Chains A and B, each alone.
Chain A
Amino acid sequence: MDVLFRNVRELVERAEKEGKLISEIMIEQEMLITDRSREDIMQQMERNLTVMEEAVEKGLQGVHSVSGLTGGDAVLLQKYMQQGNSLSGDLLLDAVSKAVATNEVNAAMGTICATPTAGSAGVVPGTLFAVKNKLNPTREQMIRYLFTSGAFGFVVANNASISGAAGGCQAEVGSAAAMASAAIIEMAGGTPQQSSEAFAITLKNMLGLVCDPVAGLVEVPCVKRNAMGASNAVVAADMALAGVTSRIPCDEVISAMFEIGQAMPSAFRETAKGGLAATPTGKWLESKIFGGSVVGSGQ
Chain B
Amino acid sequence: MKFKSVFDIIGPVMIGPSSSHTAGAARIGRVARDLFGRQPKWARIHLYGSFAETYKGHSTDVAIVGGLLDYDTFDERIKTAFEEAEKLGMSYEFIAETGNVDHPNTARIVIGDEKSEMSMMGISIGGGKIEITELNGFPLRLSGNHPAILVVHDDRSGCIANVANCLYKYDINIGHMEVSRKERGDMALMVIEVDQTVDQEVMGELRELPNITQVTRIAD
Contact = CB atoms under 8 A, between A and B. Distances in A.
Given A157-B2, A298-B85, A162 B17 contact: no
Interface string A164-207: 11100001000000010000000000000000000000000000
Contact of B16 (A106, A115, A297, A299): A106
B18 A109 contact: no
B6 A298 contact: no
A118 B10 contact: no
Contacts of B195: 1
A109 B79 contact: yes
B22 interface: yes
A45 interface: yes
> Which secondary structure dominates chain B's binding surface?
mixed
Contacts of A51: 13
Contacts of A113: 10-14
A119 B19 contact: yes
A158 B13 CA distance: 21
A26 interface: yes
Interface string B1-41: 11111111111111111111111000000000000000000
B171 to A, nearest CB: 11
A146 B146 CA distance: 25
Interface residues of A, number: 68
A151 B11 contact: no
B16 to A, nearest CB: 3
Interface string B70-98: 00001010010010011000011111100
Given A165-B49, A269-B104, A115 B10 contact: yes
A294 B96 contact: yes
B220 to A, nearest CB: 9
A87 interface: no
B197 interface: yes
Contacts of A213: 54, 57
Interface residues of B, number: 57
A118 B23 contact: yes
B181 interface: no
Contacts of A299: 82, 85-86, 91-93
A34 B5 contact: yes
B41 to A, nearest CB: 12
Nearest to A147: B6
A116 B94 contact: no
A82 B86 CA distance: 48
B105 interface: yes
A112 B16 contact: yes
Interface in A17-62: 26, 29-30, 33-35, 41, 44-45, 47-48, 51
A48 to B, nearest CB: 6
B175 to A, nearest CB: 10
A2 to B, nearest CB: 10
B65 interface: yes
Contacts of B165: none
A91 interface: no
A46 to B, nearest CB: 11
Given A114-B23, A115-B9, A158-B2, A266 B17 contact: no
Contacts of B19: 114, 116-119, 121
Q: Which of A147, A162, A163 has the most CB of B within 10 A?
A: A163
Interface stretch (A129-137, A214-222, A233-241, A245-253): A214-222
Q: Which of A45, A105, A158, A298 has the most CB of B within 10 A?
A: A298
Contact of B6 (A121, A154, A215): A154
B105 to A, nearest CB: 5
Contact of B17 (A1, A107, A171, A269): A107
Contact of B50 (A47, A105, A150, A270): A270
B118 interface: no
Given A111-B16, A271-B54, A295-B94, 14 more contacts: A1-B146, A26-B6, A30-B5, A30-B7, A34-B197, A45-B6, A150-B9, A157-B8, A165-B50, A216-B58, A271-B53, A271-B104, A295-B95, A299-B91
Interface of B: 1-23, 49-50, 53-59, 61, 65, 74, 76, 79, 82, 85-86, 91-96, 104-105, 125-128, 145-146, 195-197
5 tightest A-B contacts by CB?
Answer: A216-B54, A163-B126, A216-B57, A106-B16, A153-B9
8 contacts: A1-B145, A35-B196, A157-B3, A266-B104, A270-B53, A270-B54, A296-B56, A298-B65
